Amino acid sequence: MERRSFLAHAAAAAAALGLPASVLAAETVPRRTLRRRTIKPKALKPGDTIGIIAPASYVEKQADIDEARSTIEGLGFTTVFGGHVSDRYGYLAGGDRDRAEDVNAMFRRKDVNGIICLRGGWGCLRMIPYLDYAMIRRHPKVIMGYSDITTMLNAIYHRTGLVTFHGPVAISTFNEYTNEYLKKAVFTPKPIGLVVQPPAGTDDTPDTSIVSLGKGRGSGPLVGGNLSLIVTMLGTPFEIDLRGKVLFLEEVDEEPYRVDRMLTHLWMTGHLQRLAGLVIGKFHNCVPKKNNPEYTSSFTVEELFQQRIVPLGIPAISGVMIGHIKNKLTMPIGVRATVDADAKTLTITEAAVS
């Protein structure tokens, strides 16, 4: 089909689905042409203005919004809120286009230096088709969040080349460990370097040991986030290119059989086999529920890692401080990192900000 004819069909199909034509049109472009030059946002500094947005679920209590403002300002920033932060549309913080417009507006605003999401939850996948990726590429800034925010962070990196940050949201606990790695990631144009675990037993982290799930060393750009959302993005225009990447994964409240299904999906699509390395974070509360009739015979997630990851023979480790925990790393998506399965280490070797 000629390009002009295709674009006409794409526009018609997109209109029928209520999506921008560019979303469908992008799928005919060879994936290699979607790879962008890596863009690094400017480092943040005390006194900068941080835009707080809610691109996923709504926050029920105004007190939580007020506390988020206090928390971010306590880090030395001033704050502004997206226009739809207090909206509610079902379980979402407003309509899809409205939430996307809050993201777009924060990138457009010259007085905003960085962006942090208020919370995760559900709904970013519905919103990302309406982001203005060309404008975002022209106005690069730090943008941060985790959990459901996984989809937006990886979509922005994939479409623009902008380094994004899988790290705390505004309602997270900003303890000493979280603050240390947040500052290493976004305050200074230097590589984070070797990632060090916190002492065992601090906050909600009784076990800080690293387990090897493979062998050797592997290096590549970091991508990843929440397992269920990485899998959900497969087959969409926003599917993450995992070839040669260091993938990091975390999860929360999923029973082992669901984790099994998702890891098996990644394995059967061939994505796991194409990785340069794999980093498993914390799979918090991913245990069988007692009302499950197979409760007593369930695999543990650790057993699933042995079944699905070890046979790959790739550099892989588990137990890194990524996920729904208080001691939370900030992981820059798009910069190079090295996994050493023999030494059980993760080293982020490239600066994430300029």
Residues belonging to the active site: 147, 250, 324
- Residues with Cβ within 8 Å of 248's Cβ and at least 6 positions away in sequence, in order, are 166, 222, 223, 224, 225, 278, 279, 280, 281, 320, 322, 331
8 A C-beta contact, residue 323 and residue 282 = yes
8 A C-beta contact, residue 237 and residue 23 = yes
C-alpha dihedral, 278 to 194 to 332 to 199, nearest 10°: 90
CA-to-CA distance for 69 and 300, rounded, in angstroms? 39
Strand partners, 217: 340
